[in-house]
Homo-oligomer: A and B are copies of this chain.
Amino acid sequence: MHQSPPKSLDLKPFELVLGAANIISAASLSTATFPTAVQIPAVLRPGSVSEVQECLRLAASHDIRLHPISTGMNWGYGSAVPYADSTLLLDLGRMNRILDYDDRLGYVVIEPGVTQQQLYDFLQEKGGRYWMDATGSSPSCSIIGNTLERGFGHTPLSDHFANSCSYQVVLATGEVIETGLGALTGSASRNVFRWGVGPFIDGLFSQSRLGVVTRMTIWLMPAPEAFLPFFFRCGAPDALPPLVETLRDLRMNGILQSAVHIVNDYRVLAGIQQYPWQETHGETPLGPLVLAVLRKRDGFGAWNGSGALYGPKKMVRTMQKLLSRTLRPKVDSLNFASERLLSFAKSHSAILSPFAGMNLDKTLGLIAPSIDLLRGRPSNHALRSIYWRKKRPIPGLPDPNSDRCGLLWSAPVCSADGESAAKLDQIVRDTLLPGGFEPFVSFTLATPRALICVVSIIYDRDIIGEDDRAMTVNRTLNERLLAAGFPPYRLGVQSMEFWDKHQKLKALSNLETSLDPKVLLSPGHYGLS
Contacts of A489 in B (CB 8 A): 193, 195, 197
Complex Cα spacing A224 to B311, Å: 20
Complex Cα spacing A171 to B448, Å: 31
Contact with B along A158-170 (1 / 0, CB 8 A): 0001100000000
> A185–B487 contact, CB under 8 A?
yes
Contacts of A318 in B (CB 8 A): 314-315, 317-318
> A200–B207 contact, CB under 8 A?
yes
> B195–A206 contact, CB under 8 A?
yes
> B508–A514 contact, CB under 8 A?
no
Contact with B along A174-217 (1 / 0, CB 8 A): 01011001011111111111110111111111111010000000
Least CB distance from A171 to B in Å reads 8
> B254–A415 contact, CB under 8 A?
no
Complex Cα spacing A413 to B106, Å: 17
> A449–B105 contact, CB under 8 A?
yes
Complex Cα spacing A488 to B195, Å: 11
> B311–A175 contact, CB under 8 A?
no
Complex Cα spacing A206 to B414, Å: 26
Least CB distance from A482 to B in Å reads 7
| A61 at interface, CB cutoff 8 A | no
| A450 at interface, CB cutoff 8 A | yes
| A351 at interface, CB cutoff 8 A | no
Complex Cα spacing A178 to B499, Å: 15
* Residues A102-155 near B (CB distance < 8 A): 104-107, 150
Given A105-B416, A184-B482, A413-B181, does the pair A192, B253 have CB atoms closer than 8 Å? no
Partner of A255, one of B255, B312, B446, B449: B312
| A87 at interface, CB cutoff 8 A | no
Contacts of A482 in B (CB 8 A): 184-185
Contact with B along A494-522 (1 / 0, CB 8 A): 00000100101101101111110000000
Contact with B along A388-407 (1 / 0, CB 8 A): 00000000000000000000
| A322 at interface, CB cutoff 8 A | yes
24 CB contacts below 8 A, A to B, read: A104-B248, A181-B487, A183-B508, A185-B482, A185-B487, A189-B450, A192-B416, A197-B491, A198-B207, A198-B505, A199-B203, A199-B207, A200-B207, A201-B511, A202-B203, A203-B203, A204-B511, A254-B310, A254-B311, A255-B311, A314-B321, A314-B322, A510-B514, A511-B511
Q: A199-B208, A199-B528 are in contact. List 6 more A-B contacts (CB 8 A).
A: A105-B415, A183-B505, A184-B482, A189-B486, A191-B415, A192-B413
